Structure 1
Amino acid sequence: MNSHMLVLPLILQIFIALFSSNPAVAANSKLFREYIGAEDKGVTFSDVPINSQVNFHFILSFAIDYTNSSTPSPTNGDFGVYWDTENLSPSHVFSIKSQHPNVKVAMSLGGDTINDEHVYFSPKTINSWVRNAIHSITEISRKYNLDGIDIDYEHFHADPDTFAECIGRLLLFLKQNGVVSFASIAPYNDDSVQPHYLALWRKYGHLIDYVNFQFYAYHKGTTISQFLKYFHEQSSNYRGGKVLVSFGTDGSGGLSPQNGFFKACRRLKRQGKLHGIFVWSADDSKKAGFLYEKQSQTLLARST
């Protein structure tokens, strides 16, 4: 038998061993994301430290399809801007992106409350909601020169399939027509929330680039082992997706930076599973000087 016939399989075996022994290594990412503007605390883009070695996404919070009145009511997909427009205006978006080529800006839809009332996803019909949402979201995106969109509805007056169709069709239009280049969703572990996002993921997951899973919605005092367990559970739920880890600087729950969050991140990074970090929110971090934002970006920027 020709000796080359014996050598070739061996070479292939070595090649496969080198590149597939830890196939997830390539999944590590230098993506850092932060919600900003929801609490009207005067925080600006330039307040937040930006490491030039990471991919940085600001997420404006929130665009809401509700009236802004003492008794707010749903508008069936007609979105308006409810973030701090004085400090986070179109000119501010232009300025921060001009100064930092690694920065992109997205907006988040929905959120938890408006004027202390819950924001509900409440479409009259799928077609009418999608039509209105396409028009209003496109208008806001172009005015602010936005790059992406995030979905953060937390209360629902519609079944999961209706939510999936409305949001899925909106994302399809926005991406196909170049209105946005990336999209994310922001679910958390709640029986009234997860079914809606899982229905969306099953049908339109190919349009969703990042899963901003709200790990800070778990109980306070979460341990590292519990956090890693939750991460793997949600990675299974959103199989094939880039599930980002997260913490809150508003005193919410989950695994805090003080109690091992970065240790858990380093462990995921060694496993090739650190798809990025996001923070809720810049408004709350300002008083502490964005300490944990700096640590997050340093960890992401390091090669090991």
Structure 2
Amino acid sequence: MHTTNALLKEKYFNRHLLWLNTNKKYKGSFQLQQIMRSLKFCISLLVLQALFNVFPTIEAVPAFCPGVFREYIGAEGKNVTFSDVPINPNIEFHFLLSFAIDYTNTKSPEPTNGDFLVYWDTDNLTPSHISSIKAKHKNVKVGMSLGGDTVNGKNATFTPTSITSWVRNAIHSITKIVKEYNLDAIDIDYEHFNADPDTFAECIGRLLYYLKQNNVVTYTSIAPYADDSVQVHYLALWRKYGHLIDYVNFQFYAYEKGTTILQFLHYFETQMYNYKGGKILVSFGTDNSGGLSPRHGFFDACSILKSRGTLHGIFIWSADDSIKDHFLYEKLSQNLLASATV
């Protein structure tokens, strides 16, 4: 119906153009040229209107992205599976397998200079489980996190022998794991360091560059927290290789317990300044850790960030702990992100 109306209007304008062109009063005048240009512009608009009505499936890209939800999973061996976790179809959802670590899997682990082994729950989080959850939920991506806090009770310390050898070993071992598990993302979560910030920045930066340049992974992230000895390493990495990092999974739950909404917002602004131009994801833990908890205003703070246009996403540590509450806060987090399109 709209197409017919537009075409009828086009015929109407064409008749007037013909009349103007043959009318002695206007023929050859500057006024005629101005009128004809205006009418032709109107006809162009009408034709475009007709085309858009003929092809109604052509839609504009939404101006606002609802953000990403990310969940660490598999670190504590509590038999949690991907299918246990509720998934909202209206947002992008990332599972982060925890962890792959470049340490020997022994009673007294030793660093392996970038030769990573899988330490997550391999009984319940297998390659076939990943294929299944991604087939069932098209909005789901799966990645792995490197490092973490401890390995078999010992600090998982970043200990490269040299930049070149660490990067070479890391590229080989990580690429192998990514292909075996069909992973989409990599997250950097080292929390202890036996190397200076520049060495850390070069090792991780070169690794991320290779993985992205060769399409091994699609998404990259880092997971710093507010500790000077930690931040100095990640900020060195960000300054030189920040353009390769998609998300900053900042561990806001590492702040003191009893954090208020105002304090949380201040911390967020501080990290936005530290990681300028980065997508800072807000977070909380379901393991009784610190920071601003959902029970004390986390989602209120998120609503404030959403109103400012700075809520890029939420992540939770971790699914292993959330199962006891039937993933209540995973549902609330995803609903909040999905509602951000309104």
Q: Is TM more than 0.5 here?
A: yes
Alpha carbons of structure 1 residues 52 and 75: separation in structure 2 relative to 1, 3 Å? same
How far does the alpha carbon of each residue in 1:165-186 deviate from its partner, in whole angstroms, 9 at most, with x for none?
0000000000001100110000
Residue 26 of structure 1 deviates from its aligned partner by: 5.7
Residue 30 of structure 1 deviates from its aligned partner by: 2.5
1:65 aligns with 2:87: no
The answer for the alignment partner of 1:301 in structure 2 is 338
1:102 aligns with 2:153: no
Pick aligned residue for 2:208 from 164, 171, 174: 171
Residue 28 of structure 1 deviates from its aligned partner by: 5.5
1:292 aligns with 2:329: yes
Q: Distance in 1 between matches of 2:287 and 2:163?
A: 35
Bigger relative contact order, structure 1 or 2, given CA contacts below 8 A and separation 6+? Answer: 1
Q: Distance in 1 between matches of 2:219 and 2:202?
A: 18
The answer for the alignment partner of 2:189 in structure 1 is 152
3-state secondary structure, aligned to 2:229: coil
Q: Distance in 1 between matches of 2:231 and 2:107?
A: 30
Moved over 6 A (4+): none
How far does the alpha carbon of each residue in 1:106-159 deviate from its partner, in whole angstroms, 9 at most, with x for none?
000000001111000000000000000000000000000000100000000000
Q: Unmatched 5+ residue regions in structure 2?
A: 1-61
The answer for the alignment partner of 1:181 in structure 2 is 218
1:263 aligns with 2:308: no
How far does the alpha carbon of each residue in 1:175-203 deviate from its partner, in whole angstroms, 9 at most, with x for none?
00110011000000001100000000000
3-state secondary structure, aligned to 2:189: strand
- Number of residue pairs matched by the alignment: 281
How far does the alpha carbon of each residue in 1:187-229 deviate from its partner, in whole angstroms, 9 at most, with x for none?
0000110000000000000000000000000000000000000
The answer for the alignment partner of 2:165 in structure 1 is 128
3-state secondary structure, aligned to 2:228: coil
Q: Distance in 2 between matches of 1:26 and 1:199?
A: 33
Alpha carbons of structure 1 residues 231 and 26: separation in structure 2 relative to 1, 3 Å? farther
Alpha carbons of structure 1 residues 189 and 26: separation in structure 2 relative to 1, 3 Å? farther
TM-score (norm 2): 0.81
- 1:106 touches 1:149 (CA, 8 Å); kept in 2? yes
Residue 29 of structure 1 deviates from its aligned partner by: 3.5
The answer for the alignment partner of 1:227 in structure 2 is 264
TM-score (norm 1): 0.91
- 1:79 touches 1:133 (CA, 8 Å); kept in 2? yes
How far does the alpha carbon of each residue in 1:249-287 deviate from its partner, in whole angstroms, 9 at most, with x for none?
000000000000000000100010000000000000001
How far does the alpha carbon of each residue in 1:43-67 deviate from its partner, in whole angstroms, 9 at most, with x for none?
0000000000010000000000000
Q: Distance in 1 between matches of 2:289 and 2:90?
A: 29
Pick aligned residue for 2:68 from 3, 8, 31: 31
Q: Which amino acid aligns with 2:200?
A: F
The answer for the alignment partner of 2:229 in structure 1 is 192
Alpha carbons of structure 1 residues 26 and 224: separation in structure 2 relative to 1, 3 Å? farther
Sequence identity percentage: 73
Q: How large is the RMSD of aligned CA atoms in angstroms?
A: 1.2
3-state secondary structure, aligned to 1:192: helix
Q: Distance in 1 between matches of 2:175 and 2:300?
A: 40
1:91 aligns with 2:122: no
Q: Which amino acid aligns with 1:264?
A: A
Residue 27 of structure 1 deviates from its aligned partner by: 6.8
Q: Which amino acid aligns with 1:296?
A: S
1:214 aligns with 2:241: no
Q: Which amino acid aligns with 2:97?
A: L
Q: Which amino acid aligns with 1:136?
A: S
